[in-house]
């Protein structure tokens, strides 16, 4: 059985909800990622911040990324998967909620992220086609 922990990329890092978007952008550049899970003061997942969120939700709206926090950008119910979850559960979670990045949690701690690139390395062409069709079929998701 292939699990979420098997396909995730390790080294995912939180951005605390109180951090500003300019700091989030710097961290994304340092880590070479396009999304960061947002944590509350208890290191619980409270959202995901994407590079697109910073551009569209802050900069394009005329706001100063040095004054807007990651927590202010967190919207909706954050989605995540347990590291021991089966690959089918990963696909179902991502397809069902039309998300392209999924935090992986073990023992209530962030241990990794699953992205489209991770799926591409572990799925057959038919599985990738089905996943892509369901995730992009309706209105685009934020993540």
Q: What confidence tens digit (pLDDT) does each residue in 45-87 have? A: 999 999 999 999 999 999 999 999 999 998 777 899 999 999 9
Please indicate, yes or no, if residue 142 is contained in any of the structural domains. Answer: no
Q: What is the pTM of this model?
A: 0.82
Alpha-carbon 78 to chain mean position: 9
Please indicate, yes or no, if residue 57 is contained in any of the structural domains. Answer: yes
Tell me the per-residue pLDDT of 103-137, one tens digit each, with 9 for 90 and over.
999 998 899 999 988 988 888 888 878 878 777 77
Question: Total domain count for the chain?
Answer: 1
Please indicate, yes or no, if residue 23 is contained in any of the structural domains. Answer: yes
Please choose, from the candidates 83, 8, 21, the residue with its C-alpha nearest in 3D space to the C-alpha of residue 47.
21
Give the span between the Cα atoms of 103 and 13, in whole angstroms. Answer: 10
**Domain that residue 75 falls in:** 4-136
Give the span between the Cα atoms of 116 and 130, in whole angstroms. Answer: 13
- CATH (domain of 43): 3.10.580.10
Give the span between the Cα atoms of 80 and 112, in whole angstroms. Answer: 10
pLDDT bin (cut points 50, 70, 90) of residue 138 is: low
Please indicate, yes or no, if residue 143 is contained in any of the structural domains. Answer: no
Please indicate, yes or no, if residue 126 is contained in any of the structural domains. Answer: yes
């Amino acid at each position: 059985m292939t699990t979420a922990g098997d396909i995730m990329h390790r080294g995912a890092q939180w951005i605390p909800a109180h951090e500003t978007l300019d700091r989030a952008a710097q961290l994304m550049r340092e880590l070479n990622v396009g999304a960061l899970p947002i944590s509350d003061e208890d290191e619980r997942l409270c959202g995901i911040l994407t590079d697109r969120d910073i551009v569209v939700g802050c900069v394009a709206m005329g706001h100063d990324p040095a004054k807007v926090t990651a927590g202010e950008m967190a919207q909706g119910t954050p989605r995540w998967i347990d590291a021991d979850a089966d690959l089918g559960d990963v696909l179902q979670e991502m397809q069902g909620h039309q998300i392209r990045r999924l935090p992986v949690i073990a023992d209530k701690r962030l241990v990794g992220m699953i992205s489209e690139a991770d799926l591409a390395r572990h799925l057959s062409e038919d599985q990738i086609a089905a996943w892509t069709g369901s995730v992009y079929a309706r209105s685009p998701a934020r993540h």
